[in-house]
Amino acid sequence: MTIHRSARYSDLSLVADGDGFIIGSPHSTDFLAVPQIGGLVVQWLQDGHDVDQCATLAEQHTGQTVDIVGFLDRLTAEGLLPDARDPGPPSSGNANRVDRHQSPPGQRLGRILYGRTGLTVQLGLAAAGLPVLITHPDLRPTYTDAIVTDIALASLLIGVLMTVAGGLLHEAAHALAAASKGVRSKITISRRLYTIVYQTDLTQLWRLPRRDRLLPLSAGMLLDAAVAGLVLLLLAGPWQNTHPLLIDIARAVVLTKLAGIFFQAEVFMRTDIYAILASVTGCHNLWVTKNAVARRLIRRATPQDLIHLASVTSREIRCASVYLALYIPGVAWATWYLVTFALPALWALLAMSITAVTLHGITHPLGIAGALSAALVVIPTTAVLTAAIRSTTRGLQTLHPPSKS
């Protein structure tokens, strides 16, 4: 079996991105950012030019010799091109093949929610929440809003349920907004510093032009703001005199949603806003470039760092320098939130748990519930903070790698 030269390159996707191009392939879930000449070479190959003709065209365009064979070898090594010497089974049998023509799940719903009407409604609700917070100081969230009942275990379970449901809703917004653009995604679980998070793999957005990536990247924050705005409107109006438990739960929803939005502003943890910044600025390796810039500033750059910095543009280095400047205050912001909101709420739940055990005894149902809630507070918090300390230590080590003797 042989592959016609033009057919070998016909499946490559090519999207203009700033001064270069993003190359994708149905044979891989990865993408590759290349300079303008790399995109032109792919276009020439797709038009049926052979390698020698592309080399001639590239030399005419750049005024210097271009290693076309080396470029194609890199595409093959990255998994974007099948190996011409070993084409393997037909493409339908390739387990890693990504079908770009099959509609993603939820595409119709995504187009409803993120069409003109759906976006108008969400933006309106999000905007309505701000004046409510200004005119109703009593509705501004505090850490006590995380405790919805006098029973610690019940408050803890309700809080976990709201966090899980809210996190899934946030990621579903990303997935549906991506689906509205014809892009597939996948939701997984990870951790950012001391926070357990859901995350949506939006890698396939690189198939889209830069402006079309922004809505899927910001959809989660928009939905969080819309939900918070809706609940605030209800609390300021129809729900003013409703059952106290319902009000407490609603206030907890507002706290959860606004905390989620503030969390996204912590760009040093590679949140949604980090992804938006990387897409808008065209800095595809912002995190790696930031680390390389930091090590160069303290004269601890590795050879790999120097090679990387030499391969990126001066604009990318400037963007990485700004991002680095946000890193330390960002960690301070996260620490402030931890001390001001998270730890006081956890400490209050722990105190309630201990009180329940003390008053009722360990054999009483309320005492058992108190002991269980205390364990649910202490064990996960300790585990997450320990992991955060370890990852912070590893991050500091990447900024100050050991010197070679």
Q: Is the pLDDT of residue 124 over 90?
A: yes
Q: Is the pLDDT of residue 355 over 80?
A: yes
Q: What angle do CA 357, 158, 365 make, to 5 degrees?
A: 30
Domains of the chain plus CATH, in order, are: 5-93 (3.90.930), 107-399 (no CATH)
CA dihedral 217, 219, 220, 222 (to 10 degrees): 130
CA separation, residue 331 to residues 9, 192, 344, 385 (Å): 45, 11, 19, 14
What contacts 306, CB < 8 A, 6 or more positions away? 292, 296
DSSP label of 401: P
Which tokens go with 34? 């290349």
Mean pLDDT of 134-156: 86
Least confident piece of the model among 16-25, 168-177, 221-230, 255-264: 16-25
Q: What pLDDT sits at residue 315?
A: 83
Q: What is the overall mean pLDDT for the chain?
A: 81
Mean pLDDT of 347-353: 87
Q: Is the pLDDT of residue 91 over 70?
A: no
How does residue 285 score in pLDDT terms, banded at 50, 70 and 90?
confident
**CA separation for the pair 205, 30 (Å, rounded):** 11
**CA separation for the pair 143, 256 (Å, rounded):** 10
Q: What pLDDT sits at residue 405?
A: 44
Q: Is the pLDDT of residue 218 over 90?
A: yes
**CA separation for the pair 147, 330 (Å, rounded):** 27
CA separation, residue 391 to residues 84, 340, 386 (Å): 42, 22, 9
What contacts 54, CB < 8 A, 6 or more positions away? 41, 44, 45, 68
Q: What pLDDT sits at residue 83?
A: 67
Q: Decide if 27 contacts 79 (C-beta within 8 A).
A: yes
**CA separation for the pair 363, 371 (Å, rounded):** 10
Q: Please name the residue ranges forming H helices in 272-364.
A: 272-281, 286-297, 303-311, 314-337, 343-360
* Structure confidence by residue, pLDDT tens digits, 33-58: 788 888 888 888 888 888 888 889 88
**Model confidence, pTM:** 0.68
Largest pairwise CA distance in the chain: 86
Among the listed residues 311, 256, 301, 281, the one whose alpha carbon sits nearest the alpha carbon of residue 400? 301
How does residue 95 score in pLDDT terms, banded at 50, 70 and 90?
very low
Q: Is the pLDDT of residue 97 over 50?
A: no
Looking at the chain, the whole-number percentage of residues with pLDDT higher than 70 is 86
b/e map 61-80, b = 16+ CB within 10 Å? eeeeebebeebbeebbeeeb
Q: What pLDDT sits at residue 8?
A: 74
Least confident piece of the model among 128-142, 327-341, 344-358: 327-341
Strands ordered across the beta sheet of 13-17: 13-17, 20-24, 32-35
> What is the crossing angle of helices 116-135 and 210-236, to 10°?
50
Which tokens go with 186? 């996948």
Q: What pLDDT sits at residue 74?
A: 85
Q: What pLDDT sits at residue 196?
A: 61
